[in-house]
Amino acid sequence: MLLPRFDFHDPASVQEALDLKKTYRENARILAGGTDLLVHLKKDLVSVEHLISVTKIDELLKIEEKGGDITIGACVTMASLAASGLIGEKLPALKQGAQSLGNHLIRNKATIGGNACNASPAGDTLCALLIYDAAVILQNSEGAREVPVSDFFVGPGKSCINDDELLTGFRIAVPPAGSGADYIQLGKRKSSEINVVNVASYIEIDPANQNILNARIALGSVAPTPIRGAKAEQVLAGKTADDTVFFEAAEAARRDDCKPIDDFRGTAGYRQAMIGVLTRRTLAAALAQAQGK
């Protein structure tokens, strides 16, 4: 359980970090909170020659609202996200995700960029990023590009980030009035948990007739990456929001959208059943929020 030997870099700006990334490419790993990477290094699950720490770069620590968008720097910690009034008010499911991750100590270190780059199917903020349709901002020394978060995850622990790129943040359009979102994670205990299943739902309704204008559902721990519940979303499209349609959507999510496996944290059968329960519950909570309840 000793850390292996590596060279440690502590750049003060994004540019400096990108220069380092360009030089060392696949031989370098980005270190943010370290709550996953340092554990993997100690367990000898990953090897690395260079660690580039990005936690001292001020521009990666900001949460800002500008022109209808909220941008969140990659190094914003779970604790800061959970404490942010802006996130709590406008992106409540993301706050819930941040609050659910690990425990107090881990939330003080773990970052949202790290949670995304670790690309665990069970990642606590990832379902929220999916339902808010976040854009992932990736930079290299040449410039920046944006990738929809639904395209970002490629497999367990894998994303579409290139060797010379740094994830600098996320851009999320502020949800309109008449929308609501919710996140629920389910584990064996109430803290320090690695999820057995986790679900987030977003819903936008026409206040005049309760018709669903837009719905997004994200399912965690039931596929190689966090996924959107496409079939469940189709069930909801254009319908009037009520318990019956939510039940149908939950059935679609359970039956058609998720592809869970058996592992030591839980069986596929239980995960599938819980996708149904949590989809229904998150939709109901999201609707209540959309209705201003």
CB 51 within 8 A of CB 8: yes
Rg (CA), the chain: 19
CA distance 101 to 194: 8
Q: Is residue 208 part of the contact set for other proteins (CB under 8 A)?
A: no
* Residue 103, both tokens: 């425990």
Closer by beta carbon to other proteins, 150 or else 195: 195
CB 217 within 8 A of CB 279: yes
- Scanning 80-88, 207-215, 229-237, 273-281 for contacts with other proteins by CB under 8 A, the matching segment is 273-281
Considering only residues 23 to 62 of the shown chain, the ones binding other proteins according to CB under 8 A are none
Closer by beta carbon to other proteins, 171 or else 281: 281
Q: Is residue 8 part of the contact set for other proteins (CB under 8 A)?
A: no
Of 95, 104, 129, give the one whose Cα is nearest residue 115.
129
Closer by beta carbon to other proteins, 194 or else 213: 194
Minimum separation from the CB atom of position 53 to other proteins (A): 22
Q: Is residue 15 part of the contact set for other proteins (CB under 8 A)?
A: no
Considering only residues 96 to 135 of the shown chain, the ones binding other proteins according to CB under 8 A are 103
Minimum separation from the CB atom of position 77 to other proteins (A): 19
The correct pick among 15, 27, 192, 211 for binding other proteins (CB under 8 A) is 192
CB 111 within 8 A of CB 80: no
Q: Is residue 199 part of the contact set for other proteins (CB under 8 A)?
A: no
Of 175, 123, 197, 133, give the one whose Cα is nearest residue 286.
175
Q: Helix 268-290 and helix 243-252: axis angle, to 10°? A: 150
Phi, psi of 119 (to 5 degrees): 50, 40
* Residue 266, both tokens: 């839980």
Instruction: Kindly determine how many residues on this chain lie close enough to bind other proteins according to the rule CB under 8 A.
Output: 21
- Scanning 70-78, 144-152, 158-166, 261-269 for contacts with other proteins by CB under 8 A, the matching segment is 261-269
Minimum separation from the CB atom of position 268 to other proteins (A): 11
How far out from the chain centre does Cα 288 lie? 23
- Residues forming the site for other proteins (CB under 8 A): 1-2, 103, 186, 188-194, 196, 264-267, 270, 273-274, 277-278
